[in-house]
Every structure is written in structure tokens, then in C-alpha cells.
Structure 1
Amino acid sequence: MRLGGRLAAAIEVLEDIGRRHRPVADALKDWGLSHRFAGGGDRAAIGNIVYDALRRRRSAGWLLGQDTPRAIGFGALLLEWGQTAQSLNDALDGDKFAPPLLDADELKALATRRPEDAPEAVRADIPDWCEPLFERAFGEAWVEEGAALATRPPLDLRVNTLQADRGKVLVELADTGAKSARLAPQGIRIPPIDGDGRHPNVQAEPAFQKGWFEVQDEGSQIVAALTGAEAGMQVLDYCAGAGGKTLALSAEMGNRGQIFAHDAEKARLAPIFDRMRRSENRNIQIVSKPAELAPLSGHMDIVLVDAPCTGSGTWRRRPDAKWRLTQRQLDQRKGEQSAILDAAKAFVKPGGLLVYITCSVFDAENSDQVAAFRERHDGFSAVDHRALWDGHFPGHAAAARIGAAGGISLSPALSATDGFYLCALRRSG
């Protein structure tokens, strides 16, 4: 397929997403199933246009003066693919599968509008209602941080030290462009792709099948390390999900001690079994039933609450979620987070840690939740988060934001990771 056909297909997928309000991955999968003639390179390029259009929806639409699938599809190519109005029309001219060429009104808009002149929320590529949330979280840097959440993400890996070391994995992945991560000691980064490129299928690598590494954002690796799990500890991962942080903590502990992996929705735990077998994590126990948690009450050195949240810190990877999010959904997540914290505290032993983590950048889900929890419950005090950060990542003070009342925040513009928040509370006793 030529660029025109790929752009037309991307616009078709964007129309489907808007009409049926469905996740982008589902829409792209269905398009591929109904257009089996499209090769892997075509599907990758179409997906790139769709994801770029959703990440840059506000700024792409603003360039052409309208928020339509056509406008944001064209706008994505102009903003992210190095195209110009002239080069696009030249590429599409004569292609019977291409959408109509840019018309006079669109060309006029492009000639008179510059991205740097757009309103702040447009340059940040966020919904208008999120503007005060970003301002509160990031202060004067909120536009920059929003824009960073609209960029293409890298592909990050975590070396499983139970099976390999970083040098060994880097040799295996030498042809992928993989390099050591800047902060995470076991992290590996494959840079963001350009244009119609695609990341290598690292899960097809023999090294992955042998359990040498897992796919995990560097920010997730960092907050797992900050949890402070050590060999011999008793740890409860209360919202374990598919087990990414559980596996990271197990490796930190050298398979010594115990990690109990629990999730209120036990179906989420399903992937962890294969991951454990492949990675040879042997100190993990799956606790799927609430009744099985009772014996753990008051005995855990660390209780990790990787709370369900809006996922605003992952918008680079899930840009469609940015436009589906509502205040009502945010409020619902806040209620869930409060209830989970109240339940999880019972498992922390005196002197132990309750570690609260989200992949959100909103204070309402982060520092506000911690403050409200401490108002409801005596006996939990924040650790020295500056000392915690410097102890794990000396020389990188500028890569994290330490809250006035405690807590550590990561974000794409600041730490070049997804957005994460961590706060560690020590129980008195």
C-alpha cells in the first residue's frame, strides 16, 4: 500500500473508534481481519498513523481547523511524519485509494496556523477539563508535561536477574537498537520508532522465551525498586494484576522470602502463572480468595498497593483512554482507591511499610489520597522520600519530583518514563 491507502485506512479506523467508542487496539484488529490483503508493514504504518492521531488529536485537529478523523489523520502526518501540505498532496495525487487531497480551506488553515500559536490545552494535547488537573500537578511545566504524554513511547524491558544480567541480554538484542536504561539498574530501552517503523517483536526472541527479560516500562521498574523489598521479607502485592511488579520484587529478593500476589479480580492474575514458570520466580504465592488473606493480617513487612487508576500516566501507550476519560470515572477510581487503602492497611505489621503506587499524574489520585488516608487512620507516617530516592538513584535528583508532604512522581518530560506516583507510609509500632 502507498501512503494514500494507509492514510485512508487510518481515517477509516479513526471513524470506527469515534462511532463505536471502542478501544483503538480492537478497532485496528478488526480492520486487519477484514482487510487480510494488508501486509505486516502496512498494518504497522496504519497503526502508527492512528496512534499518532489520537496522541496529537487536539493539536492535529487545530492545524486543520476541525476535529474530524480526516483532520487528525492528516494532522498526524504533518506533526509526526515530517510531511508538509505540499508533500502530502504530491504523495496522494493520482492514488485511487487515497482520501481527497487537502482542499482550499484546509490549505488556508495550514498556511495561517502554527502549532506554537495554539491555546495551551491544545499544545498539551489534553481535554479542556483536564487543564486544572495538569496545572495543579505540574505547575508552570504543565503544557510541556502534557505534550510529553502525547509523544511516541520507547519499548522498555526489565532484565530478570534470576536468569541473566543486563550485558548478556544486550548482546542478545544487539540488532534491535537496545541500550541500558538511564535510571533503572536492570532496565533496557529500545528507542521510540519513527514514521512507519515498528518495534521488534521481542517476545519472539529466544532470550524472552528463556525468561531473561520482561517487557516493563522503566517507570514501573523504578517504583518497584523504591518499594525496598529485600531477601527474606514477607511482601503482599495487594493489586497484583498480571504480575509485572510482583516478578520485579521477586527478582530483587533473589527468590528468598515470600511474595503473596492477590487481586480482587482473580482473572487479572491469569498471565502470572506462565510468567513465573518462564522466569523461574519461586517465592511467589498466588492468593486469589479473600479468605486466604486472613492469616497474613498484621504480618507483612511490605504491602504494595498498585491501585487501579485513570492511567493518565500511560497516555503515550493508550492515547484513546485520554479522550474517553470523564470526571465521573475519575471520581469512581478515587472511591476504589480509598477503599483499597483502608483494606490493605490491616496486613502491614508494626514497623512495616504500606506502599501506594499509581500510574496517574493527577494529585487527586496521588497525594490527595495519601493525605485523606492519613486523616482517617492514625499510625502511618511518610518516609523521607528524598532520602529514599537518593538512596536508590544517587546523582539523579532532577529526574523525580518529591512532594512537599512526601511522595515521588515520575513523568515523561521529567524522567523520560511513563507517569507514576509512589508514597511509602511506615506503620508505627
Structure 2
Amino acid sequence: MTPGARIAAAIEIIDAIGAGMAAEKALQSWARGARFAGSKDRAAVRDHVFDVLRKWRSSAAMGGDATGRGRMIGALRLQGVDPAALFTGEGYAPATLGTAELKDAGTASPEDMRDLPEWLWPHFLSSLQDAAAPTAEALRHRAPVMLRVNRRRGCLEEAQTRLAAEGITAHPVEIARNALQVTEGERKIAHCSAYAEGLVELQDGSSQAAIERLEIAPGARVLDYCAGGGGKLLAMAGAVDGTWFAHDIAAERMKDLPARAARAGIEATVLETADLSAAAPFDMVLCDVPCTGSGTWRRTPEAKWRLTPARLTELTRIQSDILQKAADLVAPAGCLAYTTCSVLSQENQDVVAQFCSTDPAWSVAGMQHWPVSPTGDGFFLALLRRSAGNDQP
């Protein structure tokens, strides 16, 4: 495909997303009908689409129109690229720019350039204060590709060497002890031997850093209450010997966990909800709760435009409910860890404060935020323990 043809494909997909189709479904639908597109073509089209999703509001403003064509014109202008060079009408490229498109170069207001729904900006301000604008700006750009080295399989240096042998350049970064940032060859990771053999796992740097803050004693019984694919459980188990349990209210989310654990050299018991009480108590219960994912919107930009005030309220209710249920599973003197990949105080310290006020037996033993950064997503961790004299589960 020519560069112009890739732009035309992206426009088609963006229009489907604008009409309500999920981004991944729109990409898959296009790919099924574009058998001629090679892997580099598909990757380039995807990059165009996600760049527009990150800049959904500003690209429409700069392109003068909220269509796929207008947003693609605006996205190119935001990149400093003259869209006329790609909108040529030749070789399946989009039609040449019209008189109005040439005359109106598009302008974006400061509000447009935040690339957030208008209702959400006050929440950013109240949660992040002086960091609100830098965080919104960071979310307009691509996320880093981060790996976690599994110490059960090897060390950082070995992982770097093996990755390099397969065309993947990765460097240690300070955010976490076992973190590598990939700067070249990221699309080769899923098919490289270091990944296939469990030496490295894809995991964001802030998530790795949060797991490193957990104080897990050797031999501890640990439950990942909202395990999903099990990434955080594998990170915990890669650092210390213990007995590992995984649970998720939607059990199908854990379907890949047994294979991932086996690849990483870890044994993990998957528990249904009905089995939790019998398996309790646990020395550590990790609640990586469902959230807006606002700290990860570089990776999932569609989510910030789909979020509604009602959904935010619903999520905080779900988060509070999970904390209350998980607390009953913690052993005396055990720890309840609460994490989100959100930057919003409503999902973070507000939920924790409400939980502690509802059940005064619990108090905050530690709390930390990680900002959206060059090596990590926005992330939150609170460590909760029962107060002295309230040590019964």
C-alpha cells in the first residue's frame, strides 16, 4: 500500500468508529476485507487510527470537520505534515483537498488541545491540580513498550542479550528493578524466544513498580482477587516464593492464565467465587479493581471518549463493593492491597477513604501515585491493614 492508501484506509476505519463501532472491531473488519495489506501496512494503518483516537477532539478542530477525513487531515497537520502531499487521489489515496479544506487550515483551542471530554476536565483538575495539563498532554502520545524480566528464568542482562539477538533493543530503566524499555523491534516481541519461554512479559513500568512495593513474606498465601490475565500475579510470584491464587468475577478473563503461569515457571490455583471462603484466609489480597483506566489512555484512547459520568459513578460503586468483599478474606495481620490504573481521586483515595470510614478496623498503611511518564502509566496503590485490636477477619 502507498502512504496515501494507508491514509484512505484509516479514514474508513475512523468513520466506522465515529458511527459507534469499537476500534478493535473496526480494525479487524477492515483487515478481513484487505487481504492485500501486508503486516507493515496493517501496522501503519493502526498507528494512524490510534493517533486520531488519542487526539479525537484536536484532530477534528485542526481538520475543520468531525469526519474520518477531517480528523485525518487534522492529525497530519498536528504532526507538521502537509495533508495535500498525501491527499492526491492517486494510487488509492484520498481525493485531493477541496477549496474549503485548503483555505481553512483549521484551528484548535486550548480546550481542544487537552483532548478530553469537557465534563472530565474538572475531575482532572481536582485530582491532579498542577499536573492536570501535563497529564492530559502525555495521554495524547504513544505509550512506552515495557517488559518485565522474570527472575525465575534469567537476569536483565540475559534478557537484553537474547532480545537483541532477535532484533529487539531494550534498556533498563529506573522505574522498576526488573523493567526494560523497548526502543526498537517492539512488534517482534510476541514471536521471540525470550517471550515464548517466559523470560520476559509485557508489563507497564508503573504496574511493575507498584508490585515491588508489596511486602510479601516467603511462603505467604496470596490471592489476586481481580486477576484478569494474571500479569500482576505473575509479577508477584516472580519475586518471591509463595502459594498463589487467582480469582476473577468473570472467569473467562483468566482463560490464558494457566498457560502464562506454566511458561513463567509458576504454579497458581484458579478459584471460582464460590470457593473463596473455603480457601481463605490469605496473607495478602490484591484488588486490582476495574476502573476508568484513565492512566492508560495512551494505550486505550477510545476509552476516554466512551466514558460517561454515570459510568464513573458505577465504577466507584463496584470498587467499594470489591474492597468490602475482599477484606473478609484477609488473614489476621494480613494486608489488603488496592490498585487502579486511574489518575482520578474518585477511584483512588476517595474509595479508600470511604472504605476505612465504613470499617474503622482498617487503616491506610501506605499510599503511592505514579504519574503518566515516559516509562509508566498513571497508577495508584494503597496498602491497608487492620488496626491494632481489630485483627479478626
Tell me, yes or no, if the aligned pair for 1:161 and 1:251 is still in contact at 8 Å: yes
CA distance in 1, matches of 2:362, 2:89: 68
Establish whether residue 410 from structure 1 lines up as the match of residue 392 from structure 2.
Answer: no
3-state SS in 2 of match to 1:412:
coil
CA distance in 1, matches of 2:382, 2:104: 46
CA distance in 2, matches of 1:134, 1:101: 39
Q: 1:78 aligns to what?
A: 77
Can you list the C-alpha shifts for 1:110-135, whole angstroms capped at 9, x where unaligned? 2x73x6xx22x322211111101110
Tell me, yes or no, if the aligned pair for 1:312 and 1:359 is still in contact at 8 Å: yes
Can you list the C-alpha shifts for 1:257-291, whole angstroms capped at 9, x where unaligned? 21211111111111101101111113x2211x223
Q: CA RMSD of the aligned region, Å?
A: 1.7
TM-score using structure 2 length = 0.94
Note the C-alpha offset of 1:96. Answer: 4.5
Note the C-alpha offset of 1:411. Answer: 2.4
Note the C-alpha offset of 1:211. Answer: 1.1
The one-letter code of the counterpart of 2:175 is L
Q: 1:189 aligns to what?
A: 181
Note the C-alpha offset of 1:237. Answer: 0.9
Picking from 129, 132, 151, the partner of 1:139 is 129
Note the C-alpha offset of 1:177. Answer: 2.3
Establish whether residue 335 from structure 1 lines up as the match of residue 317 from structure 2.
Answer: yes
Can you list the C-alpha shifts for 1:166-207, whole angstroms capped at 9, x where unaligned? 11010111232211123111111113x8xxxx7322121011
Tell me, yes or no, if the aligned pair for 2:63 and 2:72 is still in contact at 8 Å: no
Tell me, yes or no, if the aligned pair for 2:86 and 2:93 is still in contact at 8 Å: no
The one-letter code of the counterpart of 1:103 is G
Tell me, yes or no, if the aligned pair for 2:86 and 2:94 is still in contact at 8 Å: no
Establish whether residue 214 from structure 1 lines up as the match of residue 201 from structure 2.
Answer: yes
Tell me, yes or no, if the aligned pair for 1:348 and 1:427 is still in contact at 8 Å: no
Tell me, yes or no, if the aligned pair for 1:230 and 1:252 is still in contact at 8 Å: no
Q: 2:232 aligns to what?
A: 245
Following superposition of structure 1 onto structure 2, how do residues 167-206 of structure 1 map, counting pairs within 5 Å? 167-174=157-164, 175-191=167-183, 199-206=186-193
Tell me, yes or no, if the aligned pair for 1:124 and 1:145 is still in contact at 8 Å: no
Establish whether residue 275 from structure 1 lines up as the match of residue 234 from structure 2.
Answer: no
Note the C-alpha offset of 1:320. Answer: 1.1
Q: 1:286 aligns to what?
A: 270
Q: 1:381 aligns to what?
A: 363
CA distance in 1, matches of 2:41, 2:129: 41
Tell me, yes or no, if the aligned pair for 1:181 and 1:189 is still in contact at 8 Å: yes
Following superposition of structure 1 onto structure 2, how do residues 416-427 of structure 1 map, counting pairs within 5 Å? 416-427=375-386
Which of the two has greater helix per residue?
A: 1
TM-score using structure 1 length = 0.86
Tell me, yes or no, if the aligned pair for 2:64 and 2:74 is still in contact at 8 Å: no
The one-letter code of the counterpart of 2:34 is H
Can you list the C-alpha shifts for 1:81-107, whole angstroms capped at 9, x where unaligned? x41x3xx31343351422222333333
Tell me, yes or no, if the aligned pair for 2:88 and 2:96 is still in contact at 8 Å: yes
Establish whether residue 18 from structure 1 lines up as the match of residue 13 from structure 2.
Answer: no
Tell me, yes or no, if the aligned pair for 1:49 and 1:77 is still in contact at 8 Å: no
Q: 1:9 aligns to what?
A: 9
Following superposition of structure 1 onto structure 2, how do residues 28-427 of structure 1 map, counting pairs within 5 Å? 28-80=27-79, 82-83=80-81, 85=82, 88-93=83-88, 95-110=90-105, 113=107, 118-119=109-110, 121-174=111-164, 175-191=167-183, 199-253=186-240, 256-282=241-267, 284-287=268-271, 289-297=272-280, 299-383=281-365, 385=366, 407-413=367-373, 416-427=375-386
CA distance in 2, matches of 1:172, 1:186: 15
3-state SS in 2 of match to 1:95:
coil
Tell me, yes or no, if the aligned pair for 1:124 and 1:144 is still in contact at 8 Å: no
CA distance in 2, matches of 1:235, 1:246: 9
The percentage of aligned residue pairs carrying the same residue is: 37
Tell me, yes or no, if the aligned pair for 2:62 and 2:74 is still in contact at 8 Å: yes
Can you list the C-alpha shifts for 1:119-153, whole angstroms capped at 9, x where unaligned? 2x322211111101110111122121111012111
Tell me, yes or no, if the aligned pair for 1:351 and 1:427 is still in contact at 8 Å: yes
CA distance in 2, matches of 1:290, 1:350: 21
CA distance in 2, matches of 1:75, 1:410: 32
Q: Which blocks of at least 5 consecutive residues in structure 2 are unaligned?
A: none
CA distance in 1, matches of 2:238, 2:217: 9
Tell me, yes or no, if the aligned pair for 2:146 and 2:204 is still in contact at 8 Å: yes
Note the C-alpha offset of 1:343. Answer: 0.3
The one-letter code of the counterpart of 1:155 is V
CA distance in 1, matches of 2:143, 2:327: 35
CA distance in 2, matches of 1:230, 1:170: 29
Tell me, yes or no, if the aligned pair for 1:349 and 1:427 is still in contact at 8 Å: no
The one-letter code of the counterpart of 1:48 is D
